[in-house]
Amino acid sequence: MKKLMIVLLVVSVSAFAGLVEFGGHAGLFIPSGYKLEYYKTSPIFGVNILAHMPMFAIEGSVSYVPISTEEMIGVTEHSVSMIPILAGIRNYSGPIFYGGGLALDILSVNMVREGVETDETDSRVGAYGNIGMILPTGGMDVEASLKYHLMDFDFDMAWFSLTAGINF
């Protein structure tokens, strides 16, 4: 039933939208909250959908971030990754857009500490704000954006994403 609701939502947005664009993006994950102090600037890449309405656009994206980390005392091996899933709206002022929405950040941590391996996956709901620019180029739109993410709506677990991509 849950999958059917998601499919119906996507179909209804497509039916009422004037133009639906799909695309890809890549860029940088930049941690800024002190609770993310062990994380380093890392690459981010993913796919997005943009449904244009008369007064605004609905945006959604799914990304993957293989997070680089600082060395931790007592940890011999570790890997951290995150999948941010975003859904929101944006408004345009010429080629400039701004908006925001809700985010689901799925964080996966695997580490070996003192010979004991732990594997944890955690989901955090939060919000994001977005500002960017779209440059139309012959059938495609080149998009650059800066997003500010709040994991669990907590300023101590905040991060930025600086991305560029192409929408078809």
pLDDT confidence of residue 77: 80
What CATH number is given to the structural domain containing 104? 2.40.160.20
Show the low-confidence residues of the chain (pLDDT under 50). none
CA 55, 28, 50 angle in degrees (round to 5)?
25
The boundaries of the domain holding residue 23 are 2-163
pLDDT confidence of residue 2: 53
pLDDT confidence of residue 31: 94
The verdict on residue 23 lying in a domain is yes
Residue in this structure with the two tokens 């960017």, named with its chain if needed: 132
Predicted TM-score (pTM) of the model is 0.85
Q: Per the structure, how many domains does the chain have?
A: 1
pLDDT confidence of residue 160: 97
pLDDT confidence of residue 12: 56
Which helix or strand (DSSP H or E) is residue 13 part of? helix 2-16
pLDDT confidence of residue 69: 86
The verdict on residue 63 lying in a domain is yes
pLDDT confidence of residue 4: 52
User: 15 near 7, Cβ under 8 Å?
Assistant: no
The verdict on residue 49 lying in a domain is yes
147: tokens are: 């997003």
pLDDT confidence of residue 92: 92
pLDDT confidence of residue 84: 97
CA distance 149 to 82: 13
pLDDT confidence of residue 114: 79
The verdict on residue 72 lying in a domain is yes
The verdict on residue 125 lying in a domain is yes
pLDDT confidence of residue 30: 96
